[in-house]
Amino acid sequence: MTRAVPYEFVVVTIFPGMFPGPLESGVVGRAFARGELALRAVDLRGFASGSYRQVDDAPFGGGAGMVLMAEPIYRAVEAARAERPEARTRVVLLDPAGRPFTQQVARELAGWDRLVLVCGRYEGVDDRVRALVDEEVSIGDYVVSGGELPAMVVIDAVARLVPGVVGEPESVVRESFEERLLDHPQYTRPAEFRGMTVPEVLLSGHHADIESWRRRMALERTRERRPDLLHETT
């Protein structure tokens, strides 16, 4: 199925030159080239006041670092919403305090028409920005320099779920985490490599046996490496 209007990603950032970056390559990059997806990086400084286009300031109460100001972010997001008022737009702040980004979250976000992704920097954003966004998302319990790399992760994961982006829809369904399971082991030619052989069942041509083996291996791998995923499904 092809969308009449491409699914659109709008990234609000102080480093628009980081985009599209790696998103220009691979299956997602080809979808952008075909016009099935659209990506635009918005320079937050274009919405700042004053001749210096200041977007950050020292935190009230003191402390190290700088904080992104609320006003330019509000202006940028409101402008993005106004561009296509008829579209179903979801505004997401990339923030360590957000809910963990999972495959389920990616599926939810793929159901909208547009994503506006707000990238924090420095010590974060003025907390009043949280009243502006629809939700906050974190890609993990670690620190990166800003929201731009997390935004790329979200874009790539969501883009793959937009109909038409991945050529074989079945491959998306079978990927890790789609069923709260890790993917089963994969093999390709040659059948023997340095003494390591491909499981006989995969060479049998018996599709029912192959499917049964893959399911069993996915469960075993998940139980061994990510048992928390199995607990979440019970």
Of the candidates 175, 179, 186, 92, the residue with the CA atom closest to the CA atom of residue 138: 92
pLDDT of residue 234: 43
For the whole model, what pTM was predicted? 0.88
CA distance 176 to 188: 18
Contact present, 154 and 117 (Cβ < 8 Å): yes
Q: Which CATH architecture has domain 7-159?
A: 3-Layer(aba) Sandwich (3.40)
**What is the average pLDDT value for the chain, to the nearest integer?**
92
Contact present, 77 and 100 (Cβ < 8 Å): no
- Stretches where the chain sits below pLDDT 50 are 170, 234
Contact present, 159 and 7 (Cβ < 8 Å): yes
Domain positions in the chain: 7-159, 177-233
- Residues paired with 196 in a beta bridge: 193
What is the token pair recorded at 18?
A: 């980081």
Contact present, 133 and 95 (Cβ < 8 Å): no
37-43 sheet: strands from edge to edge: 37-43, 7-13, 114-119, 89-100, 135-138
CA distance 58 to 200: 64
Q: 177-233, what's its fold?
A: Trp Operon Repressor; Chain A (1.10.1270)
Taking only the tens place, the pLDDT of each residue in 161-196 is: 999 999 765 455 555 555 789 999 999 999 999 999
What is the token pair recorded at 66?
A: 């700088």
For 227, the enclosing helix (H) or strand (E) is helix 227-233
